[in-house]
Amino acid sequence: MSDQAELPPGRLSRREVVLATGVASVSALAGCMSDETPPPEQESPSASTVTTHSSPALERWVDEVPRPGVVDPTDEKDGQPYYEIEMTEIEQQLHRDLPPTTVWGYDGQFPGPTIEARQGEPIYVRWQNKLPDEHLLPVDTTIHSDIIPYETPGVRTVTHLHGGNIESESDGKSQAWYTRDFAATGPEFEQKDYYYVNDQPAATLWYHDHALSITRLNVYAGLAGFYLLRSDEEDALELPQGEYEVPLVLQDRSVTDDGSLFYPAAIADEQSGRGKSHPEPSIVPEFYGDTSVVNGKAWTRLSVDPTTYRFRLLNGSNSRYYTLTLLEYDESTGKTGNEGPALVQIGNDGGLLAEPVPVDDRLEIGSGQRADVVVDFSEYAGETLLLHNDAPALYRGDMSSADDDIVPLHEILLVDVADGSGAADGSGAEDATGGTTEESEAAPEGTTEAVPNELAHVPEISLEDVDTKRYLTLTADEDEHGRMVHLLGTEDEPDGLAVDDPVTEEPTVGDTELWSFANLTDMSHPMHLHLVHFQLLGRQPLGEYQSTEDELDLDALESPKAYEQGWNDVITVHPAEVVHILVHFGEYEGVFNDQTGMYMWHCHMVEHEDYDMMRPFAVRPASESEKDPASEAQTEAETRVASESD
């Protein structure tokens, strides 16, 4: 058996897994990797994303961070708020010194307007495609050419509410796309008006495009925005609000001198598949921009008062990871200093944590993930701080090295703290503590006094309740052009399946499952499940896990980091690692709701999900002999589809 690189880069060889995990022999990997098709020696998969292009040198920190506006309903439908939100091509100035940039936006802005909804109050949204006939960015028509009608006029879009516990018909599946004014629709398109039931905990959700094979291009062009779900329980916590609650979407972009977005149209010749021909334009394995963009502005600064703020952080980049902290900063020299105020995490993808968690080191946030944090600036009046990132472009967790930082992006956002005169209380309470003196004294060590020490009830999913275990591989292959194809596999098909292969994951509504992601590649992947939120059980080295064992050795697992607790819908899986998550499909101890139908699971590095690290899963109804709320919900959805009018 050979470990030589006869197959594509991107997958770990057995030797590398042994080195990475400390396993003494290759035999220890039995059951984790296929004997028939050993993966090759590693070559850097991201070298092909390096181009000779550099964005113009722009003066940093001259533009204030904009705050996306909140969109109002346009009407009512079935007694519920109804929104019509258009996707259009617009011009928007990304920096003071750049000409206006052509981007795509929802309701005329990039990022799109924030939708504010309330728990228990459903809404309808019609996402109107009003985009031009030609794409703004280079489209590779060789991807999924057997299932995508590239000859059809118009740009395909479909909007996914990321984190929404919603009906399948409104999920924004990748094959539910449609062109301008619904002139052409994909095979999974079912309805024009999406119904969001909002029957889940208050959380920082977001919406973005999800059209098969061009998600990376549509999102990069600007099609994304916040969806904030609020509740009475969250309101009662008196967290910072109004101007002291700031949604921040972190993205990386590259631009040209005339302000145009730059996105690579081809793989660099020296990385084109070892001599094989490749199409132009061609998809690239990953994309990393060289300019930090926050809320649609490049190299921005945020002015704050010396009080407590709530930041809703969203990693909206195509491929980049962030590991974040606040550092003292000398703007005149560009040098960083000591640690600044702590980031205190209060929520994850799916809602509030049980209690606030001071982030001891740095906050890791992969593409698609959200982190709800509070920061107390009261001891930094008059100072300048930098939101600093030290994650290299090619992120491998603890296995990362300086060589991985092919397109570094360390400086994310400048924070100016006012000198303190006239500073207000961000919580809206009588004093800066956000509560009584007794509550302040009870705050956990390292947290800010404006945060209660109890946030929400988060019921724990038990391993004992698991009905089904699934072993799922993260792997890679190459196509006929020598290009990398990222894939997801199963225990029976560890080398990976295509997006249009038959469904292999079919949970029943009401079931609890253990999904074990085994990363056979040489980079970290942020894995996302539609519909559900899950809990991280733990991690372990790939070489120490045997998928054939009946019982999982809990003592062998690395426990979740504090900020990985609570409800997640994206989880990072590092190279040579197995990550175990507990997933309940349906209502669980009073939170979330029952749904059935087809959904997606995929890597949220959007270049990866486009080709081809995405798979469908189907939530099946319970037995007809049982009362099945999901079936009733399905019937209700079908009635809405049948009665929908233009």
Which amino acid is it at 26? V
* pLDDT, position 640: 54
Read off the pLDDT of each residue in 275-285 and give the average, rounded to a whole number: 84
Residue 469 has pLDDT above 90, yes or no: yes
Residue 26 has pLDDT above 90, yes or no: no
pTM higher than 0.85 for the full model?
yes
Instruction: Give the pLDDT band (50/70/90) at residue 9.
Output: low
* pLDDT, position 440: 37
H-assigned helices in 267-399 = none
DSSP-derived secondary structure letter, 174: T
Residue 18 has pLDDT above 80, yes or no: no
- Reported as a single tens digit per residue, the pLDDT across 162-201 is 999 999 999 999 999 999 999 999 999 999 999 999 999 9
Higher pLDDT, 7 or 240: 240
Cα dihedral 506, 509, 514, 520 sign: positive
Residue 501 CA to residue 467 CA, distance in Å, equals 24
Residue 219 CA to residue 206 CA, distance in Å, equals 12
* pLDDT, position 89: 98
Lowest mean pLDDT among 4-13, 179-188, 190-199, 308-317: 4-13
> Token pair for residue 528?
């996302």
* pLDDT, position 637: 55
- Reported as a single tens digit per residue, the pLDDT across 327-343 is 999 999 999 999 999 99
Lowest mean pLDDT among 75-79, 417-421, 435-439: 435-439
Cα dihedral 558, 559, 563, 568 sign: positive
Q: In DSSP terms, which residues pair with 536 in a beta bridge?
A: 581
What 3-state class would DSSP assign to 528? Answer: strand
Percent of the chain beyond pLDDT 90? 80
Residue 641 has pLDDT above 80, yes or no: no
Residue 423 has pLDDT above 80, yes or no: no
Percent of the chain beyond pLDDT 70? 83
Q: Which residue has the tokens 């509030």?
A: 352
Domains of the chain: 66-235 (2.60.40.420), 245-441 (2.60.40.420), 460-634 (2.60.40.420)
Read off the pLDDT of each residue in 218-226 and give the average, rounded to a whole number: 98
Instruction: Give the pLDDT band (50/70/90) at residue 142.
Output: very high
Lowest mean pLDDT among 51-60, 156-165, 512-521, 569-578: 51-60
What 3-state class would DSSP assign to 232? Answer: helix
Query: What is the residue-averaged pLDDT of the chain?
Result: 88
Read off the pLDDT of each residue in 614-636 and give the average, rounded to a whole number: 69
Residue 48 has pLDDT above 50, yes or no: no
Q: How far is CA 613 from CA 30, 148, 212, 517, in A?
A: 24, 17, 11, 13
- Reported as a single tens digit per residue, the pLDDT across 359-407 is 999 999 999 999 999 999 999 999 999 999 999 999 999 999 999 999 9
Q: How far is CA 377 from CA 67, 307, 351, in A?
A: 20, 5, 24
Which amino acid is it at 90? I
Residue 429 has pLDDT above 80, yes or no: no
* pLDDT, position 639: 52
Instruction: Give the pLDDT band (50/70/90) at residue 272.
Output: very low
Higher pLDDT, 154 or 272: 154
